[in-house]
Chain A
Amino acid sequence: MPPESSELLQGTLELLVLKALSLTPMHGWGIGHRIDQLSKDTFQVQQGSLYPALQRMLRRGWIKSEWRITENNRRARYYLLTRTGRQQLDSETRAWERASTAINGILRVRSVEGLS
């Protein structure tokens, strides 16, 4: 079990899905598994919540889906990143970096002159 786990920020799940899919097309379980691996179990994602998110992303055109056969010879629904999805991943990554730099900066401040 992870020592500390945290709730996902709104919209972060989608960013993580995009990131996971940017490496290779995957089915739903695979995406969840990959997020666990990549985040080293920092985020507790209830596995079911992946599917409404995937449905929303399909509607936005970031990903598309197709049925493929797995290595174990079963039919599974695979998700692929579209071009829009890739652009979305880039812009969200940049936005995330800007935001986290700013937040880190704020958290590093120990005292503000004139406000104490």
Chain B
Amino acid sequence: MSVLSDAMERLKALFFRGRVEREMAEELRFHVDRETAERIRNGADPESARRDALLAFGGVEQYKEAVRDARGNRPLEDLATDIRYALRGLRRNPGFTLTAILVLGLGLGATTAVFSVMYSVVLAKLPYPDPDRLMMVAEKNSPTNIWNISTADATAIRAQQRSFEAWGEVSRMEAALSGQGTPEHIMIGRASAGFFKAVGIPVARGRSIENRDEDPGAPSVLVLSHTLAERAMGGAERALGRSLTVDGIPHEVIGVLSPGRNELGGVTATAWTALKLPAPVRRGPFWMRGMGRLKEGVTVEMAAADLAGISARILPLWTDFRDSVAKLTPIPLRERIVGRADRQVGIFAGAVLLVLLLAVTNVATLVLVRASAREPEVAVRVMLGAGKGRIARLLVTENIILTLAAGALGLLLASLGLKLAVTQLSLPRIQNAALDWRAVAVAFSAALLSGIAVSLSPIAALAGRGGPLRTDTRRTGTGRTTNRVRSVLVTAEFALALPLLVVAGLLLNSFVRLSRVDPGFDPEGIVAVEVSLPAVRYPDSLALRGFWQRAEDLTAGLPGVTAAGLASDLPPDSPGTNNFNLVDHPVPDGTSEPVSPWYGVSAGYFAAMGIPLLDGRLFTAADTMPVVLVSRAWAAKYFPNEQAVGRLLISGGCYDCPRTTIIGVVGNVKNLGLAESEDAVYEQFNRNRDRTLHLVARSGAGATAALREMRELVRSLDPELPLTESILAAKLDDSLDDPRRWTVMLGAFATVGLALAALGIFGLMSYVVRQRRREIGVRLALGAEPAAVTRLIIARGVRHAAVGSAIGLVVTLALIRRLGTMLFGVSPTDLTTIAAVAALLLSVALFACWLPGRRAARIRPIEAISSE
């Protein structure tokens, strides 16, 4: 009751202040009138009655104040006064106010956007129950060489593991979807019932994949993502029980995942089907991921020991795999998904923090200048009896209002920046980045902290004030402390700007090198169409062979086409790999076989891509035994100073299969990406078994026309095939998108940093010139060279810049090594880049000091001396 009435009274006093005041005045007036009337009734004359009544009351204004105190809102009302005063002050000085809000708003906006990205990519928990217990299981034989598990591995783990309360396998593949309109390619996850149990995500509608769906004879079932159910079947409810055709085989839709669930256990797929595990016949091939949920209390180390035991037990059972170093290894799912992104985001976050610090430093100098300009006003206030505490509070209030406004602007900018970042940066989980309450909290606490930070130096100056009567700062030394603090701040700005510029410079350098890399083929005029043949209509090798043969021949005959071929993958992002062992130089028993990028192509592919044959011959129709072509880099790596052509190797660990012969060497191609190695082995595509291939053509007809002709050609062969078209030149350019975006992003940060540092030193030197106007006037009057005056100013400014840059350089060298993995062809401590960047920074500083320096030289002595 009492708490309630207290709050009511206070709120009334706060929000109906005018009414409450009026009522108080009326009440007191009534009291005095009533007392006067009483006195007159008792015989006093009206004149003295009123005076005595007031006397008996005892100071109306004094008691009004006492009543106001008794309302209990004093601190709040003082704050309101401070805020009103501060707003008035800020409005009076719009140049300062807008600059400060803009500079800090930019810094806070960038910080907030980057925080949101960092939160969703690195910090947020994975969207699974107890995500820390989810382990991906893979084969691993060195810190960097990690690959899938095989049927034999999975069978053994299912039977022997003791670490997981749920265990399953998953494999992802591209598949042709039809029965819902235009045939299309989608990503299908094949997963066992145990996989769904391990990730712990139930379906939203229908049922999940269960053990019975894994039986070899069980009908094919499909769990759809919400997106696909909506798009292809008009909603989750209507999808259930209906049939969709995947690679020509009808599947019944049994379940639909909840909206937004496009990824399970790190596997992104549009639909999910049951993984039917065949009985193992050899140790390989390695084609699935394992997924386990650790039992309560089981650590990663315990699981690793458990799985290592299984690896050791199954090694002797199979002759085709002899790598005793390779172990089945649990890898926390989080590590797998976030991976290297935490490093990229870390650099990003570090850069943005530098920008924010620069912005705060800049605003701090602005605030300091403003404070010293208000020195006379403050002196008058102190003289009139204002406490230093009260003045300090006013200062802080003003700065916090300023920075909170900047925070609001920052949020606005962050929402724009975040939209850009989500569409432009390819980072895991970045789609979830949003301006949620965390971002708002970060923006405003950063704003609040900045407000306190920028208040520190003027408050220090205030505390160090001498007597209250010094209202003239021009001739006294009060400006000197301010200048010293400002010099330190400006030096700090250069120390902050240099690391930003170095990082941006290195990324730019790396990007330029990357974009100059020769991909090994001329992408001009190359187009490709990816075709998938469903098993239903192409049941046997005869049908497959016939289709591929006709498609390649007809494409080659199209007008404008100079060469055509078929390939399993296209550069610059072809992922296929295979292990092998050289017959002449086998790896020692019990160690890992080398792994190389591995592609299936037709002989025509090399001509279509413009890859030269350097030695030996291409595939011919007469090749019945397994033969391969290798890249020049591969030949140099495995047969240095030897002839590679004619050598034999064992492919894919199949020691029972016929040996494979190297029949030729071709030019290097950046199959794996422009920054990657050029190792490659090309085998003839399997015309009897391959269902998905790229039909590649080099055409002089222009990409659009060539693609249209190829599309019509394939449609004339089979109108129901899903097609995916690509233009090689565009694909090559796309592969540069990511480094380009990082470079642009860091470049933007660095530009802002450079501008802020320049602004800072320009402001300081202009102020110095203004302050020493009289002295400079005297010097000029006494015959100093104007050029010498300019030099003096420049020398002083550049000294700050140089000291700051030197400090920045030390910081940079201490931290820059982390950048290594993001660079191509340039070391993180690349001397040329660092020197160029430092030179740029110092020349900008020189220019920023030259402007006020020139103004100093043009000071007219008479005016300067007589103006005071």
Contact = CB atoms under 8 A, between A and B. Distances in A.
B237 interface: no
B34 A61 contact: no
Interface in B1-53: 1-2, 4-6, 9-10, 23-24, 26-28, 30-31, 33-35, 38
B66 A59 contact: no
Contact of A55 (B2, B38, B67): B67
B767 interface: no
Name A's interface SS: helix
A75 B27 CA distance: 9
Task: Please indicate which of the listed interface residues B2, B4, B69 has the most CB atoms of chain A within 10 Å of its own CB.
Answer: B2
Contacts of A47: 31, 35, 56-58
A46 B57 contact: yes
B479 interface: no
A90 to B, nearest CB: 16
Contact of A52 (B23, B27, B59, B67): B67
B63 interface: yes
Contacts of B33: 74
Contacts of A49: 58, 63, 66
A58 B5 contact: yes
Contact of A28 (B5, B31, B38, B70): B31
Nearest to B71: A55
Nearest to B35: A29
Contacts of A77: 23, 26-27, 30
B624 interface: no
B30 A27 contact: yes
Nearest to B34: A29
A59 B5 contact: yes
B62 A51 contact: no
A67 B72 CA distance: 22
A59 B72 contact: yes
A32 B27 CA distance: 14
A76 interface: yes
Contacts of B543: none
Contacts of B72: 59
Nearest to B62: A48
A98 interface: no
A28 B28 CA distance: 9
Interface string B377-410: 0000000000000000000000000000000000
Interface string B434-478: 000000000000000000000000000000000000000000000
B60 interface: yes
Contacts of A94: none
Interface residues of B, number: 31
Contacts of B10: 59
Contact of B71 (A33, A46, A59, A84): A59
B656 to A, nearest CB: 94
B56 A46 contact: yes
Interface in A3-48: 27-29, 32-33, 46-48
Contacts of A32: 31
Contacts of A52: 63, 66-67, 69-70
A51 B61 CA distance: 12
Contact of A61 (B6, B57, B60, B71): B6
Contacts of A64: 5
A58 B62 contact: no
A46 B742 CA distance: 77
A50 to B, nearest CB: 8
B20 to A, nearest CB: 10
Nearest to B12: A58
B5 A61 contact: yes
Interface in B63-89: 63, 66-67, 69-72
Task: Please indicate which of the listed interface residues A27, A32, A33, A52 has the most CB atoms of chain B within 10 Å of its own CB.
Answer: A52
Given A29-B30, A59-B10, A48 B57 contact: yes
Contacts of A61: 1-2, 4-6
B5 A75 contact: no
A75 B70 CA distance: 23
B35 A51 contact: no
A84 B38 CA distance: 33
Nearest to A55: B70
Contact of A51 (B1, B28, B34): B28
Contact of B2 (A51, A60, A74): A60
A84 B70 contact: no
Nearest to B33: A74
Nearest to A48: B63
A5 B831 CA distance: 93
Given A52-B69, A52-B70, A59-B10, A74 B58 contact: no
Nearest to B30: A76
Contacts of A56: 70
A75 B60 contact: no
B30 to A, nearest CB: 5
A29 B24 CA distance: 13
Task: Please indicate which of the listed interface residues B31, B57, B63 has the most CB atoms of chain A within 10 Å of its own CB.
Answer: B31
Contacts of A51: 24, 27-28, 63, 66-67
Contacts of A27: 27, 30-31, 34
Contact of A59 (B9, B24, B35, B38): B9
B445 to A, nearest CB: 33
A74 B69 CA distance: 28
A75 B1 CA distance: 28
12 contacts: A27-B31, A29-B31, A33-B38, A47-B35, A48-B63, A52-B63, A52-B67, A53-B70, A59-B71, A61-B1, A75-B30, A77-B26
Closest 3 CB pairs of A and B: A61-B5, A48-B63, A55-B70
Given A28-B30, A48-B58, 10 more contacts: A29-B35, A47-B58, A48-B59, A51-B66, A52-B70, A53-B70, A58-B9, A59-B10, A61-B4, A61-B6
